[in-house]
A and B are shown apart, each in its own frame.
Chain A
Amino acid sequence: MKNTEQAIITIDDAIVQADNLSLFYGEAQALFDISFAIPRHQVTALIGPSGCGKSTFIRCINRMNDLIDGLRITGSIKLDDRNIFDRAVDVIDLRRRVGMVFQKSNPFTKSIYENVIFGMRIAGINEKPILDETVEKSLRRAALWNEVKDRLHESAMGLSGGQMQRLCIARAIAVSPEIILMDEPCSALDPRSTAHIEDLIRDLNGEYTIIIVTHNMQQASRISDYTAFLYEGELIEFGPTNRVFTVPVKKATEDYITGRFG
């Protein structure tokens, strides 16, 4: 049976809109003409084999790639109809709206408390009641509160790997971003901690827009509403997760999902 639907669907209530996005590391092109919209308050998973450009793509959304020398971008990414590559856009402001959680959990060498409120401190918020409230709220939201509430002022280095990653999520939520980017947040964790984080992502769904890069196909199907499949720097397919996993439009998507390559 031939699937007649579009390979890349359009979204009505989009928060991020990529248009003809291409990215070059010096001479080498890493992303080719990527155009698609990411739905608001949904979990979108980016899947694809290693080196396909998933991480590169999400790092464009909070302009983390700015730090790399010799990087060139053409096309645009619009966040609420405003091109984030525009000269007038304040990158600090952008990063407050677009939080990020990395593959390797990397809490700062400070107390748990200070880790959570780091974003607020650098934004100049120092009122204790507000900070206390944020710490509790963010840690509860990250399902970490009960485990650490008695040792908030101890070093974050004493936490387990899974707890550290949840602390990083709490740290990202604390500045109330609209979007949270997650770059393979579970790849360094054991299955139990992974389940914990997955529950958390499901739980945050509806409140934040989450864009998650993952290698784990089951994970993508479990937690995401929409799935984008990238291959060799090109967007092959984007649609509701159910459809992409059950009736993929493109042959490449089907091959990847069924484990024929990648």
Chain B
Amino acid sequence: MLKKILKNKYWQDGEPFVWATGAALTLILVLTFALLFVIVKNGIAVYWPADLVHFEMEDGSAYLGEVVQTTDDEQAGIRHQVKIGNRDLYPLDFKWLTEAHIQQKTAPREAVLLERSAYGNFYGYLAGLELPSLEVPATDNPWARFKSALAALGPGLEELQDIQAELSTLNAQVERLDGKIAKLVYHDKEADPQMAALQRRKESLSQEFQAHVSRYEVRERDLMANTALFEDAGGRQQTIALMSVIRAYRPNDMSPVAKTGIYLRKVWELFTAEPRESNTEGGLFPAIFGTIMLIFIMSILSFPLGVLAGIYLREYAREGLLVRLVRIAVNNLAGIPSIVYGIFGLAFFVYGIGSSIDQLFFPEQLPTPTFGTGGILWASLTLGLLTVPVVIVATEEALGAIPSGLRESSFALGSTKLQTLTRILLPMASPGILTGFILAMARAAGEVAPLMITGVVKLAPALPLDATFPFLHLDRKFMHLGFHIYDIGFQSPNVEAAKPMVFVTTLLLLAIVITMTSSAIVLRSRMKKKFAITND
């Protein structure tokens, strides 16, 4: 019976096979687009100012906030998850409200959303202003007065920032002096006249530092005194220092144009500002910077290394058992789990090379490690190790794909091996090499596991590249988008509040990877056009 069915013309023609191949491709496409859709949908809407809804409940309580999601199940009926914020007043900043228990829903125009530097968002109504150190003309419109008070705060905040910048410069100078002093102590030159000079200098710097600190404190106290009184939905009052308000707006009273303005400003903040509120708010600049710099250093290290090794394997090494074994080893290296690379990086780079560097060049700093701890250099080297096999294989295959006739013609014209390589083979192999390399880069950009033990941190105090000497600080720890996703998504104390940021970070990382791969495709097609061999 079965035999008869299989003998059927329909099976013989392979029609079912065509369907199976098509179905497999469709399944993959559906999964990919579903993933992209979820990330894009959730990521793009995060910064759009949602309307604030005022809920009056049957039991007399009232809530104000943004509806995050609405569910409908048979037991509980329709329920809304509302972000009510006000972490300084309530134990939880999210609340589930059952539709059946809601008496009234309104969208009051005067409902205010405050983005604050601490305690997250505040949702409430403006009740009063206390401005002892700001001169803001009184008007009938308290909201307008509040806004102009916020604007009037600007110069004071800038002054504080300036003092902070001076403080960090002083701090760096003191640290350098400490280093010099430690060096002298280490070499038993405490009696050196230089020592006394250094100590005096440090003393005067410390005094200057203290003076700045007290100036900062005075100014800060002064500004902190300017407060606004807010009422939450239930009428509880909360005094909020104007200084802690980053942005204040009334979403229910805004036109789409004004909302777009807020949206764009927040996107700009995402790219340029530092994170706040244990990374759940604010920008991602240090993480973007860290990710790009990591990939950059990794490329500088691994690209030449991989290409050179690939050239040797294909062009110079004599084909034999040893070369075959090396080739198998290289191919297998590409398949080793990345965490293993991380452990190797920790043992070899951090504890091995890093500790040796510390003992040789920074002995006075010990036991505080300089290079003997995770840092961007070691993380880049570890990722480089991870991508090198891919580059080697890509180089080898690209070189191997060039017809041998071209090599022979080049040699027959009297060129040396090196000339043949640089003038004929490498230009022709470059599309293949670059494609392989950029794909490896995309993989490295998304890699998290090996970074976690070689230098990534959830919050880095300083960028690995800045204005203080020697500008490039390869020993510094850094932030990374991939680790950021893991950290805020799974290690955050307030997972619900961090969720939007997880989507935004994922979207950003995805955008970086897609940009890199599509540039690889463009590059490849361009170079293929230039170096393609056509035969008729």
Binding site for B on A (CB under 8 A): 62, 64, 67, 69, 92-93, 95-96, 99-100, 102, 104, 106, 108-109, 118-119, 121-123, 155, 157-158, 160-161, 168, 171-172, 175
Contact = CB atoms under 8 A, between A and B. Distances in A.
Most A Cβ at <10 Å: residue of B409, B411, B415: B409
A123 B414 contact: yes
A102 B405 contact: yes
Contacts of B428: 109
B419 interface: yes
B423 A122 contact: yes
Nearest to B422: A122
A173 to B, nearest CB: 11
Contacts of A160: 536
B413 A175 contact: yes
Contacts of A100: 408-409, 412
Given A157-B532, A157-B534, A160-B536, A175 B408 contact: no
A81 to B, nearest CB: 21
A92 B415 CA distance: 7
Contacts, number: 75
A95 B406 contact: no
Contacts of A172: 412-413
A161 B536 CA distance: 7
B411 to A, nearest CB: 7
Contact of A119 (B319, B405, B413, B530): B413
Most A Cβ at <10 Å: residue of B403, B408, B413, B536: B413
Nearest to A168: B409
Contacts of A168: 409
Contacts of A92: 414-416
A96 B414 contact: yes
B411 A95 contact: yes
B424 interface: yes
Contacts of A67: 407-408, 411
Nearest to B529: A155
20 contacts: A67-B408, A69-B319, A93-B414, A95-B412, A96-B413, A99-B413, A102-B412, A106-B408, A108-B409, A108-B424, A109-B531, A118-B423, A122-B414, A122-B423, A123-B414, A157-B532, A157-B533, A160-B536, A161-B536, A171-B413
Interface of B: 318-319, 403, 405-416, 419, 423-424, 427-428, 530-536
Contacts of B533: 109, 157
Most B Cβ at <10 Å: residue of A108, A155, A175: A108
Contacts of B534: 157-158
B30 to A, nearest CB: 40
B57 to A, nearest CB: 75
Contacts of A95: 411-414
Nearest to A67: B411
Given A102-B405, A106-B406, A62 B412 contact: yes
A56 to B, nearest CB: 14
B406 A122 contact: no
B409 A175 contact: no
A102 B409 contact: yes
Nearest to B531: A109
Contacts of B415: 92, 118-119, 122
Most B Cβ at <10 Å: residue of A62, A92, A106: A106
Contacts of B410: 108, 118
B413 A118 contact: yes
Contacts of A157: 532-534
Contacts of A158: 534
A171 B412 CA distance: 11
Contacts of B411: 64, 67, 95
A100 B534 CA distance: 21
B424 A119 contact: no
A122 B416 CA distance: 8
A32 B414 CA distance: 28
Contacts of A122: 413-416, 419, 423
Contacts of A175: 413-414
